[in-house]
Amino acid sequence: MLVINALRRAAEYFVGTLMALMFLTFILQIFIRYTARVGWVADAVPLLDPTRYGWTLEFCLLLWVWIIFAGCAFVVRDRDHVTFDVLYNHVRPGVRRWFAIVGGLIIIVGLVASILPTWDKFYILRLKQTATLKQLVGDWVRMRDVYSVYLLFLIAVSLRYAWAVWRAIRDRPAQLHHGPGRLDE
């Protein structure tokens, strides 16, 4: 459990760092946009030439993709998700167990079934370069690298649901709603 908590904490720091990078890039975009309106600024300070900062939009999009998929796979807990649990909370615990098992298995099958098509698409994306990120990091970044976090997402969420199904089979399913307002309490 200690290892899992350390990995979760590392994932939180990683996603938090990505969010900070995205925010700083956004601030840079705003600064460059407003200094571009003053014509003499780009002439006086060539580093502030707005044509050098086309990469910021694509970099923010890359960070956004990584924040969403890495955050959902490794940081967001099950109890933090929005759930529609009206029916789940109004049935007996035995039926809840079957809901958790069947629902988890459906999600696992769907995610695992999409791994191979995703991998095939990544094989094609390994050839495609990003449009503007090469200004920042060179031309070694491919679109495959930008979207590779999605494959991690598929695997991690499949494993999380496999663990939830195993817990539901072995013990009891986790409660979907932990806050106040449950009707069966």
Q: What is the pLDDT of residues 38-84, one digit of tens each?
A: 777 777 877 777 778 888 999 999 999 999 999 999 999 877 777 77
Look up the pTM and report it.
Answer: 0.81
Q: What are the CA-CA distances from residue 26 to residues 18, 33, 35, 107, 150 (Å)?
A: 12, 11, 14, 35, 23
Q: How far apart are CA 83 and CA 177, in angstroms?
A: 8
Crossing angle of helices 115-125 and 143-170, in 10° steps, is 170
Confidence of residue 172 (pLDDT cuts 50, 70, 90): low
Average pLDDT over residues 150-156: 95
Q: How many residues does the chain have?
A: 185
